[in-house]
Structure 1
Amino acid sequence: MERRRIVPIRIADNLPARRTLEAEAVIVMSETEAARQDIRPMRIALLNLMPDKITTETQIARLLGATPLQVELELVRISDHVSKNTSAGHISSFYRPWEEVRDEKYDGLIVTGAPVETIPFEEVAYWDELRRIFDWSQTNVHRTLTVCWGAMAALHHFHGIEKHELPTKAAGVFRHLNRAPASPWMRGLPDVFDVPVSRWSEVRREDLPEGHGLAVLAESPETGLCLIDDPAQNMLHMFNHLEYDTLTLAGEYARDEGGYLPRNYFPGDDPAALPVNSWRGHGHLLFGNWINEVYQTTAFDLADIGK
């Protein structure tokens, strides 16, 4: 009897990320193959606020595609915001505006960072819609993962926590302490692990309000908070970038014309030297834990999410 092959991630057949993932031996499912399988995939929405959307799509899809679960990745954008760094053709082909999906249900939502860290939340052009998306996540999404500025924005919206602008950019690869090894989100992560950091602002531990159920899962003595569990909102907040590729920080350094040197990143602090990726496994563990927890706890019927 022929054994049917279950493959984990479903993305659009002609999405640029597909070629990259297939070259890395990440098993990618075509839309046609997915339609033939008699199982319900995990439905994950990616609200991509990053300027280089194709790179971020690839990074997130790589980590979700490494799990043994079938994942259907839906790319979502702010409805009225025009991206300046990604072609209009790519956006119109692969992204759905949030207003178009607001009546739908998702097992998971990932909200990325955005290059607006030094702007007050209320002055960000799409802040009002993002607030509506956060509120919508409480009824139409089972669990949400927020990243970098997206994490700061969610904590500000739900808990009134302010961000603090840094005097210089926190950039590089920093050792982090695992503060909750028994947490399902931290399963398998070592007591100390490397994480890429790239941000101009921070949320401080002393600003976390008591009685809100917020739990610090990981932090660095040098760069502060990294991971916060927010069970009241069914959210996991990550201020740093375990999804980054080996050369992402190098690309940012070149883009910013060398205004800073990422710490603990270039061998010998030589920007011409090839960095060594010491966080790849940690990223796979965290995202694998997240998608597994979503799978274990979500409703069997999508329609029951939020009830």
Structure 2
Amino acid sequence: MPITLPRDLPAYRVLSDEGVMVMGQEAAFRQDIRPLRIGLLNLMPMKIATETQFARLIGATPLQIELTLIRMSEHRSRHTAPEHMEAFYHTWEEVREQRFDGFLITGSPIEHLPFEEVTYWDELRRIMDWTQTHVHSSFGVCWGGMAMAWHFHGVEKHMLDRKAFGCFRVTNEAPASPYLRGFSDECVIPVSRWTEMRRDAIEAAGMDVLLDSPETGPCLIEDRAHRAIHIFNHFEYDSDTLKREYDRDIAAGTPINVPGHYYPGDDPTRPPQNRWRSHAHLLYGNWINEIYQTTPFDDALIGTHRQTLGEAPERV
């Protein structure tokens, strides 16, 4: 089954050209099935690139996905055309009465700020609390995952001496986890951040580390008490995303190291190779599958139950 997107959303054409099955909203309405409703709270400045990256991954499963693009009600994007935001995005206030099978909160390039100094922190706190009553499964990405771990558990983020930047090996710490079904013992993932959360604090808060790295610390964690997983790195990145970040900083004169283990021979004149694509599809496909297996068919029941640590997922 395809992912349902507006036909004039840029991601529709990009993904169609890549061979991803996409469906216009009119055709989706004619199918007599309940699609999984996934909300994407997009906090990244380059909205179009980010929405395309996530749509590519969640649209690669056999299930029909209805993707809703969401923005903060109290924040205006400076890097994406107002016409695009008006045409394709809903504010959280506009969708807060709705229920979602899955909900993604992206990263944001504001990790140097204490959480409470982020201009939209109060609204984001309300959204994170709202996920506990209106969302079946949440997925926090990079800063979004750190924000959820801080909000729900008080896990602190720590500034790094230098930016973790490149492609780093992570080890599979929980091969029996349904989210890691099909994963290798090790895999590679892009990393681009100035902060980290530490394993001892994560585990002390009752969360489980699923993927970990001796170089860059915890990568993927599960928060069973809040029906959530968080990833601090970037499986969703395109092959050239780190290159574009590196080239941008070099052009601006910003001190930046060559992204490690990314270019062949660490030579930035050579085209980078994508070594994480298959595991990216595995992780997001496994997340979608877990949602499908456990979410109530009656979407009015979403968020009306709470799973606790150690409790087996509800099968309905």
**Structure-1-length-normalised TM-score:** 0.96
Counterpart in the other structure of 1:262: 259
Letter in 2 for 1:294: I
- Per the TM alignment, residue 177 of structure 1 is displaced from its structure 2 partner at its CA by 0.2
Please say if 1:177 is aligned against 2:174: no
Please say if 1:89 is aligned against 2:88: no
Alignment partners' CA distance in 2, 1:15 and 1:272: 33
**8 Å CA contact retained: 1:159, 1:209:** no
Q: Determine which of 223, 226, 229 is the counterpart of 1:236.
A: 229
Counterpart in the other structure of 1:47: 41
Counterpart in the other structure of 1:128: 122
Please say if 1:67 is aligned against 2:61: yes
Letter in 2 for 1:224: G
Letter in 1 for 2:93: E
Alignment partners' CA distance in 2, 1:66 and 1:193: 20
Alignment partners' CA distance in 1, 2:263 and 2:126: 41
**In the TM superposition, what are the counterparts of 1:1-307 in structure 2 within 5 Å?**
7-208=1-202, 210=204, 212-257=205-250, 259-307=256-304
Alignment partners' CA distance in 2, 1:45 and 1:182: 27
Determine helix, strand or coil for the equivalent of 2:148: helix
**8 Å CA contact retained: 2:202, 2:209:** no
Deviations, residues 5-53 of structure 1 (Å, cap 9, x unaligned): xx32001110001111011000101111101100000000000000101
**8 Å CA contact retained: 2:37, 2:67:** yes
Where do 5+ consecutive residues of structure 2 fail to align?
Answer: 305-316
Where do 5+ consecutive residues of structure 1 fail to align?
Answer: 1-6
- Per the TM alignment, residue 208 of structure 1 is displaced from its structure 2 partner at its CA by 2.2
- Per the TM alignment, residue 209 of structure 1 is displaced from its structure 2 partner at its CA by 5.2
Determine helix, strand or coil for the equivalent of 1:93: helix
Letter in 1 for 2:190: P
Determine helix, strand or coil for the equivalent of 1:229: strand
Determine helix, strand or coil for the equivalent of 1:146: strand
**Structure-2-length-normalised TM-score:** 0.94
Deviations, residues 168-221 of structure 1 (Å, cap 9, x unaligned): 1101001100000000011000000011111110101122253x4300000111
Determine helix, strand or coil for the equivalent of 2:218: strand
